[in-house]
Amino acid sequence: MTMSSKRVPCDPCRQRRVRCDGSSPCTSCQRSQLACKREYIRRPRSPKHGSGKKIAALRAAQSQIEINQDHTTAAHQSPGNDLLSPENLPHLMERCIDVYLHRMYPIMPLFRPSTLYQRLNRPQEPNERSMLYALCALVTAFMCGRSESIIRCGEWAACARRIIEKCLLMRSEYSFVKDNTVLTLLASFFVAITYFELHDIRKSWFYLREAITLAHALGLHTDEYYRGMNHVDALYCRRIHNILFVTERSLAIARHKPVLLSQPLPLPTPGPDEGLKGLEEQPEIDAGFRQFVRVYSQIDIDFLEFWSQRGSEQGGPNLLLDDGVMSDAQRADICVTQRWLDLVLWRAALQQG
């Protein structure tokens, strides 16, 4: 048995992964009665040169993260730009009209639903365009803090303000003060409610007073305005006057402001032949709106004048909800309104001792 100068393991020991003493034959092979051979040739090790796939994948992932961060930063720097682009704006307006008709119409039934879609699908006059912009601003402001699944936009407040800018810019293209339609006063009204939703009460009160002034200039409170008008158009116009009445009283109570509108207009009853067909709505919508106006009409004008000067040192009005037919949205809105009025009056009474 001879010993090699370098202890190179034999092939059987290498395959069995046991220690080899380097002898020829080695002790392990003799004990196991195996042929001790050294035919395996070890390949020399060379430096590793990979294809770079892992590095390329890491670089691509980092680049994608940087691109996403740039897009997020740009979106925060200019919110609403994509939604208000010329190619996306028509779709946004159509979705806003859908939200208004399905979620907000029972509280503000101010149009024939079909006329809104007709205006979207044809060339529009400046007063029509400004009114639609204002309505869309109201819907987007209404969505602040609510689900993003309806219009898929998280920057509601910023988007609403951008649409208001487009509305006011459109109004600068025509003499809106001399406009002899309700569209301009509706634009002012929707802008006022939008600013209320955005918690900008000063601007909200300003544009509400502007809408009331335009209604007075138009003669919406006079019998002369409705002479020769069919009962459906007259009903919608009287609703517009009454929504101004309700909104003014709501803000007047909240901010101790004087009022311009002393009472609502009586609403005509739809005829048996054309009532439901002409209104394009369920009967409970009209009944609920009448009840909503009645809640505010119970507040005496003398009480409001006293309230705007000093607050209340006397009991408030007793506001009752009739158990009539109305939609669930209207019933909820009236109940919330009544509880809010009770809270305001009780708080004022406690402050006055």
- Whole-angstrom Cα distance, residue 231 to residue 237? 10
At residue 316, the pLDDT reads 46
Instruction: Please name every residue paired with 3 in a beta bridge, in sequence order, or none if there are none.
Output: 23
Nearest to 129 by CA among 81, 187, 212: 187
- Whole-angstrom Cα distance, residue 308 to residue 231? 36
At residue 77, the pLDDT reads 45
At residue 170, the pLDDT reads 92
Mean pLDDT check: name the lowest of 5-19, 72-86, 121-135, 238-252: 72-86
- 3-class DSSP string for 27-49: HHHHHHCCCCCCCCCCCCCCCCC
Mean pLDDT check: name the lowest of 27-41, 78-92, 110-124, 234-248: 78-92
Mean of pLDDT values over 210-225 = 94
At residue 202, the pLDDT reads 92
CB of 172 closer than 8 Å to CB of 126: no
The residue whose two tokens read 């040739």 is 41
- Whole-angstrom Cα distance, residue 286 to residue 267? 9
Most confident range (mean pLDDT) of 11-15, 38-42, 204-208, 300-304 is 204-208
CB of 220 closer than 8 Å to CB of 233: no
Which pair of tokens denotes residue 345? 């009056």
Specify the pTM.
0.66
Instruction: Please name every residue paired with 222 in a beta bridge, in sequence order, or none if there are none.
Output: none
pLDDT of 52 over the 70 cut: no
- Whole-angstrom Cα distance, residue 334 to residue 90? 33
Mean pLDDT of the chain: 79
Band the pLDDT of 33: cuts 50, 70, 90. Answer: confident
Amino acid identity for residue 256 in this structure: H
Instruction: Please name every residue paired with 24 in a beta bridge, in sequence order, or none if there are none.
Output: 2
Sign of CA dihedral 196, 201, 202, 206: positive
Mean of pLDDT values over 55-78 = 63
pLDDT of 151 over the 70 cut: no
Q: Within the chain, how many helices (H) and strands (E) appear?
A: 14, 2
pLDDT of 314 over the 60 cut: no
- Percent residues over pLDDT 70 in the chain: 72
Q: Which residues touch 125 (CB under 8 Å, ≥6 apart)?
A: none
Instruction: Please name every residue paired with 23 in a beta bridge, in sequence order, or none if there are none.
Output: 3
pLDDT of 278 over the 80 cut: no
Mean pLDDT check: name the lowest of 159-168, 197-206, 308-317, 329-338: 308-317
At residue 88, the pLDDT reads 83
DSSP assignment of 209-258 equals HHHHHHHHHHTTTSTGGGTT--HHHHHHHHHHHHHHHHHHHHHHHHHT--
CB of 238 closer than 8 Å to CB of 205: no
Listed by start position, the domains of the chain span 88-254, 315-352
Q: Which residue has the higher pLDDT, 111 or 320?
A: 111
